[in-house]
Amino acid sequence: MPQSTFSILLRFLGSMNLAITLLVAIAVAAVIGTVVQQNLPYPDYVLKFGPFWFEVFKSLDLFNVYSSTWFLSIMGFLVLSTSVCVYRNLPKILRDVNDYREHSQRHALLKLPHHYSFTDVRDHQDNLARISALLKQHRYRFRLSNDQGSLLIAAKKGSGGQLGYLFSHVAIIVICIGGLMDGNLPLKLAELQGRIAVETRRIPASAIPTISTLSTDNASFRANVDIAEGGQTNLAFIDYKDGYLLQKLPFTIQVDDFRVEHYPSGQPKSFESDLTVLDASLPQPLRQTISVNHPLTFKGYTIYQNSFGDGGSKLRLKAWPLLTSAAPTDLEATVKQFTRVDNQQLEISDFRPFNVKPDPDTQKKFINFGPSFQYKLRHPDGTANEYLTYMQPIVQEGRWFYLSGMRSKVFEQFNYWFMPADSERRLNRFMAFYQALNNPDTLQAIALATAGSTESGKQSTLQERQAVARFMMALASQFVAGGYENISAGIAQNITEEKRQEASEVYATVLQRLLKNLYLHVLQEEGVDATQPLSGFDGQFLADAIAAVNSAHFYAAPVFLELEGFQHIEATGLQITRSPGQWLVFPGCLLLVLGVFCMFYLPQRRLWVMIEKYAAGSAILLAGSALRNRYDFDAEFELIKQQLAQHASSVQ
């Protein structure tokens, strides 16, 4: 008889092949979710994998595997498949649990691999009492059946093995339902329906639109928030795709104190927060200290100590103009707030009082590079370059340098600018040298003096020296604008190939002479006797300063911001989760353990003892079978056989 479509579909959904396929798919997804760190901001993935692979992984939703549509679909199909399997097999399991097979026939029992026949001088009642006591001793439950003068005792134990199959399947259903509850499925449905939209702009929380805000009714989420010491909030942020969503909380979290302990190297050792939870339903505020692995749970919300960062530190900066010779200006700025600098917007994103990195001279030790701050200079058109500047100079090849990195895209590595520090480990001398190159009056005077310092220059006319000075100034301008590469490009464009080598040597000699005289002028301004030969330090400083100017063009900033001081304000990084599914996952895991235990350690075993009348007593047939652990059953069957046959008169 042809099967209906429904029967075929039911058989397919409850098949072992489908269940194994779905479990393998979930296992592969779990591996991906373990290898690829989840729920990071998209720029971090671009920086780690590059633009091409970022787009590939993004299209596959590998950055949020456990909340992805395909993973939730697999989980849903596994729930459906396992439920169908339980539905189809539950009646059979229950029948088997209650079925003692007390109507088995003698010829069927003799076909079992374990059977033993003997006679006994006792009658039916004595054998029944003795066999019943023996079966109870071995923890067998049994039923009796009389059929035409023969008595059949059908016994079994280990029915929990069959129930273990049921427990393990129900456990999978419960765990998967818990995973679906915590998988942001309602959030995805709301996004598909257009009821929510991701916010990508960096704007204050009060300006975030309603369509990007989630109410306190959101049943499941994992959000983060940074709170400065003494601050409080009833909001958190969910990193979602290429932006974020604002999550409202039904209570207020206040940070009373935040503490960080450091190792001698400067690395963080431990950190903890003293929190106060303010809620109208509480008779008094709830106060608790949390640390890593010691969260606070309140009304189904769990607050974890996740990280720490800056809470709005006050920075004292000195802005050195890089395009003009104007004097530096003092500037005060606050981390995570905006400040105007030369028609650009200064956006300080982070400040770190410690920067612990591997010591380049050793492989195991770490050293502290001191404070640093990270910021963007945003142009009026909205584009921005990002900078990372260290407050203190660092040692490179035995010499001290100030270090500042720049990148134009978030997925790029910082390209660092090394500026030499003077004998007092300050930046003043290099900035004076760099600004002199941008001062037309100073540069013209030095160029004119340099043009007349040679023997040929002394014999030339004023007009000739002025022409040479203009050439030097043009050469210096090209050098500042693009370094040696810019000068070489000009030579390649304006001079024939056979004369380029000679021209390059002349240009280099002229430029070096001008830069040295400009440097001597800077030393003179400091009060150093410029008529004396350069010391070893001053000579090396000139070489490092020229190298710094050669690479300065990539820095692409109107000013260099030097960090002179700060008032550090710390902030605790909290992760707030609401996971109702965990109350299903945990019992589901326990149920799975129970099911596996029952299947492996409570194997079903059956015994039949048939007692028939015999001339001088009773004829007894002992038979048995086991589904698993047959080696143990062999030993048990042999023991029961010996105990039954102790007073047997003969064996058949």
pLDDT digits over 517-546, tens only?
999 999 999 888 877 888 889 999 999 999
What does the DSSP 8-state code read for residue 67?
G
Please, what are the domains in the chain? 5-95 (no CATH), 107-158+606-651 (3.30.310), 212-311+570-579 (2.60.98), 315-568 (no CATH)
Residues 540-561, mean pLDDT to the nearest whole number? 94
pLDDT for 260: 84
pLDDT for 128: 86
pLDDT for 648: 59
Backbone angles phi, psi at 378, to 5 degrees: -95, 125
pLDDT for 324: 87
646: confidence class by pLDDT, cuts 50, 70, 90: confident
Nearest to 268 by CA among 573, 577, 575, 37: 573
pLDDT digits over 336-380, tens only?
888 998 889 999 999 998 887 776 666 557 777 889 999 999 988
Residues 492-515, mean pLDDT to the nearest whole number? 89
Record the tokens describing residue 68, joined without a space: 């992805």
pLDDT at residue 266 above 70? no
pLDDT for 361: 61
pLDDT for 206: 86
Give the contacts of 541 (CB within 8 A, at least 6 positions apart): 420, 422, 429
With b for 16 or more beta-carbon neighbours within 10 A and e for fewer, the 485-511 pattern comes to ebbbebbeeeeeeeeeeebbeebeebb
pLDDT digits over 432-448, tens only?
999 999 999 999 999 89
649: confidence class by pLDDT, cuts 50, 70, 90: low
Residues 42-50, mean pLDDT to the nearest whole number? 81
pLDDT for 1: 45
Name the region of 629 (left: φ>0; alpha: ψ -120 to 50; beta: rest).
left
Residues 488-515, mean pLDDT to the nearest whole number? 89
C-beta neighbour count of 348 within 10 angstroms:
23
Average pLDDT, the chain: 87
Give the contacts of 29 (CB within 8 A, at least 6 positions apart): 65, 66, 71, 74
0.85 exceeded by pTM:
no
Of the spans 89-103, 458-472, 544-558, which averages the highest pLDDT? 544-558
pLDDT at residue 614 above 60? yes
pLDDT for 265: 63
